[in-house]
Amino acid sequence: MTPVALPVTPAQAAAAAMTPAQQATARAKISETSKKFEASFLSSMLQSVFKDVDMGGGEGGEAFKSIMMDAVGKQIAEGHGVGLAKSVQAEMLKLQGLA
């Protein structure tokens, strides 16, 4: 029995045409993008969690709280994160034909 060839997607064809250096660059960009997405997601979630927390200082306190939640989200993502970046990265690599 002859094996059936699966159709090649345009992304897989483009990835196959890349040099190893281009593939490495694409993988690095995808990794960075997935980490930024996780940081943004975490920041948004933290802002929702702390929306009713009074930081004191009126409008200045509210501005500080927003900046602080962004920084905390980035720190969590730069550490081990919550696993979202890994899942997003895997899907992005698959969609780009680099998996």
- pTM of the complete model: 0.79
C-alpha distances in angstroms, 44 versus 29, 33, 71? 22, 16, 11
Q: What's the confidence (pLDDT) of residue 10?
A: 87
Mean pLDDT score of the chain, rounded to an integer? 88
Helix 20-49 / helix 59-78 crossing angle, nearest 10 deg: 140
Which amino acid is present at 61? G
Residue 87 inside a domain? The answer is yes
Q: Which domain holds residue 40?
A: 22-95
Residue 14 inside a domain? The answer is no
Residue 12 inside a domain? The answer is no
Residue 16 inside a domain? The answer is no
Query: Does residue 5 have a pLDDT over 70?
Result: no
Distance CA 99, CA 76 (A): 26
pLDDT, tens digit, 9 for 90 and up, residues 9-21? 888 888 889 999 9
Mean pLDDT of 53-66: 80
Residue 6 inside a domain? The answer is no
Residue 88 inside a domain? The answer is yes
